[in-house]
Structure 1
């Protein structure tokens, strides 16, 4: 995907309150890397907000399967991203990940459309700019 693509994060509290974030990626990223960026940024935001328990819903079956150790990695970059997620696991008392079909992820799809149309000044939507990937492949591992 071209620079300027985005990832979406929606945090929903137990009382149903929503915090919506668009993560503007200022680097080249393919779909699965964008999904990992959304997950990692969501984890970082949740930590900043003091969340202790997370139920993560993601429309990327591959990312969920890799993090839940049900799928192997065909790419060193995906392995590196998964390792980044693992660094956050002990920051929560509990974390559960669930696959949700894209058609059932309406808020995230709405945010994705805003990013695609470059409409980034919507009230109630926080914008995070990310200028480099969260995961890197170490030289010699390719």
Structure 2
């Protein structure tokens, strides 16, 4: 359930969710004496409107009635008109500098490629965040409202999805900036992919890091400071 709330945050934020289960999850999560991981999970789930119902045996016509009632209560009218844009992002740190690469694929399957030259000292994780944040900003400017995001930085994806914690103030600031941008979409999903499946964004990131000339069809941007500010409380 916890992973579902992370990956489908926009659904859990705007809808009441009913969990049908054969296990007493409600009693476990709502147990005030819980400690350790259970108390941590309960704290994470506390902000969502969720109820837990036991799974019971249903037969014959009762099953039909149950399914009909369930569908009417739980499922909104499906939006068959929307489709998802796709976004791939990657970062690169090399001897000549750092860079980020972003590939956006629109609804008509046309591709927009960005190579972003980073003109400040940045770690490998920082350039990955720069790629993700700048890619989200570009997608917003281009009018994307539904977006699949794919990147090969497992750490960045895990931190954004709250599966691992940030250490430095800059990483915390980056990790806080991403959800603010995600809130501007009607629907968005982040997925980790193998490096071999991210060749196009990797090529653009290395192109920007090497300061190579822009090939045809590639937009070159430059940024001279981090795309987020460290809150004074973290300094």
| TM > 0.5 | yes
Query: Do the aligned residues in 2 keep the contact of 1:3 with 1:28 (CA within 8 Å)?
Result: no
CA distance in 1, matches of 2:233, 2:106: 43
> With CA pairs under 8 Å and 6+ residues apart, which has the higher RCO, 1 or 2?
1
Q: Measure how far apart 1:86 and its partner are.
A: 1.5
* Equivalent in the alignment of 1:81: 174
Partner of residue 111 from structure 1, selected from 204, 210, 213: 204
The counterpart of 2:194, out of the listed 101, 115, 121, is 101
Q: Secondary structure at the match of 1:22?
A: strand
Cα shift readout 1:113-133 (whole Å, capped 9, x = no counterpart): 322432232110001110110
Question: What is the match of residue 65 of structure 1?
Answer: 158
Task: Confirm or deny that 1:41 pairs with 2:134.
Answer: yes
Deviation sequence 1:20-48 (CA, Å, 0-9, x none): 00111111110100000000000110010
Moved more, 105-114 or 131-140: 131-140
TM-score, reference length from structure 2: 0.57
Name the Cα RMSD after superposition: 1.7
Task: Tell me what 2:222 maps to.
Answer: 129
- Number of positions where the alignment pairs a residue of Structure 1 with one of Structure 2: 142
Between the aligned partners of 1:24 and 1:9, the Cα distance in structure 2 is 12
- Secondary structure (helix, strand or coil) at the match of 2:227 reads coil
* Equivalent position of 1:21 in the other structure: 114
Shift of 1:75: 1.8
Change (3 A) 1:132 1:116: closer
State the TM-score, normalizing by the size of structure 1: 0.91
Q: CA deviation at 1:14?
A: 3.2
Cα distance between partner residues in 2 of 1:38 and 1:91: 18
1:91 alignment partner, SS class:
coil
Measure, in 2, the Cα distance between the counterparts of 1:92 and 1:3. Answer: 35
Q: As a proportion of its length, which structure holds more helix?
A: 2
CA contact (8 A) 1:3 1:29 kept: no
Shift of 1:3: 7.4
Aligned to 2:88: none
Query: Gaps (5+ residues) in structure 1?
Result: none
Q: Deviations over 1:45-95 (max 9, x none)?
A: 001000000100011101101111111112221111011111112210011
